Chains A and B, each alone.
Chain A
Amino acid sequence: MDNVLLEIKDLSKVYESKGVNVKALSNINLTVKKGETIGIVGESGCGKTTLGRCVVRGIDATSGEVLFHTDEGVIDFLKIKGAQMRRYRKDIQMIFQDPYASLDPRMTVFDIISEPLRYNTKMSNREIEQAVDRITDQVGLNKAYLRRYPHAFSGGQRQRIGIARSLILQPKLIVCDEAVSALDVSIQAQIINLLEDLQREYDLTYLFISHALSVVRHISNRVLVMYLGRMVELGETEDLFRNPLHPYTKALLSAVPQPDPDVTIDRIVLEGEVPNPANPPSGCPFHPRCAYATDQCRKEMPPLKEYDGRLVACWNIK
Chain B
Amino acid sequence: MGLFKSKNNTHSDEKKSDKYYYASQWGLMARKFRKHKLAMGSTFVLVIFYLTAIFGNFIAPQGTEQYDGKFVNCKPTPVHYFHEGKFVGPFVYGMKTERDPVTFMAQHVEDREKICRIKFFTQGDPGGEYKWLGLFPSNLHLFEAEDGGKIFLFGTDNMGRDLFSRVILGSQISLFIPVVGMLLTVVLGLAIGSLAGYFGGWIDTVIQRLIEVVRSFPQVPLWMALSAAIPKTMKPAQVFMLMTIILSLVSWPGLARVVRSKFISVKKEDFIMAARISGAPGSKLITRHMIPSFLSYIIVDMTMSIPSLIIGETTLSFLGLGLRSPATSWGVLLQETNKLETIMFYNWKLIPMIFVFLSVLAFNFMGDGLRDAADPYK
Contacts and interface: CB of A to CB of B under 8 A. Distances in A.
A140 B25 contact: no
B21 A148 contact: yes
A96 B270 contact: yes
Interface string A95-114: 01010011111101000000
Given A94-B274, A104-B275, A119-B280, A152 B21 contact: yes
Contacts of A148: 21-22
Interface string A141-154: 11001011101111
A91 to B, nearest CB: 11
B354 interface: no
A66 to B, nearest CB: 14
B312 to A, nearest CB: 34
B11 A157 contact: yes
Interface stretch (B2-10, B155-163, B212-220): B2-10
B5 A119 contact: no
A120 interface: yes
Nearest to A155: B11
Contact of A101 (B4, B28, B271, B279): B271
Interface string A166-197: 10010000000000000000000010001001
Contacts of A101: 269-271
Nearest to B5: A140
A149 B24 contact: yes
Given A105-B25, A140-B4, A147-B22, A89 B279 contact: yes
Interface string B264-292: 00000111011111111100100001001
A169 B8 contact: no
Interface residues of A, number: 46
B20 A152 contact: yes
Given A96-B270, A140-B1, A152-B12, A115 B22 contact: no
A91 B256 CA distance: 38
For the complex, would chain B's binding face be called helix, strand, loop or mixed by DSSP majority?
Answer: helix
Contact of A142 (B5, B22, B270): B5
Contacts of B276: 58
A90 interface: yes
Contacts of B269: 101
A96 B5 contact: no
Nearest to B284: A119
Contact of B1 (A89, A166, A197): A197
Contacts, number: 103
B136 interface: no
Given A98-B270, A148-B22, A149-B24, A116 B12 contact: no
Contacts of B270: 96, 98, 101-102
A86 B281 CA distance: 10
A86 B279 CA distance: 7
Contact of A156 (B11, B16, B293): B11
Contacts of B292: 106
A169 B22 CA distance: 26
A57 interface: yes
A165 interface: yes
A120 B277 contact: no
Given A96-B270, A151-B377, 15 more contacts: A53-B273, A57-B277, A89-B277, A93-B278, A96-B273, A98-B270, A103-B271, A105-B25, A106-B25, A106-B293, A115-B280, A140-B4, A141-B5, A157-B12, A165-B278
16 contacts: A53-B273, A58-B276, A89-B277, A89-B279, A93-B278, A98-B270, A106-B293, A119-B278, A119-B280, A149-B21, A152-B12, A152-B16, A156-B8, A156-B11, A157-B11, A190-B4
Interface of A: 53, 56-59, 86, 89-90, 93-94, 96, 98, 101-106, 108, 115-116, 119-120, 137-138, 140-142, 145, 147-149, 151-154, 156-157, 160, 162, 165-166, 169, 190, 194, 197
Interface of B: 1, 4-5, 7-9, 11-12, 16, 20-25, 28, 269-271, 273-281, 284, 289, 292-293, 377
Instruction: Report the 3 A-B pairs with minimum CB-CB distance, sorted nearest first.
Output: A152-B21, A116-B278, A119-B279
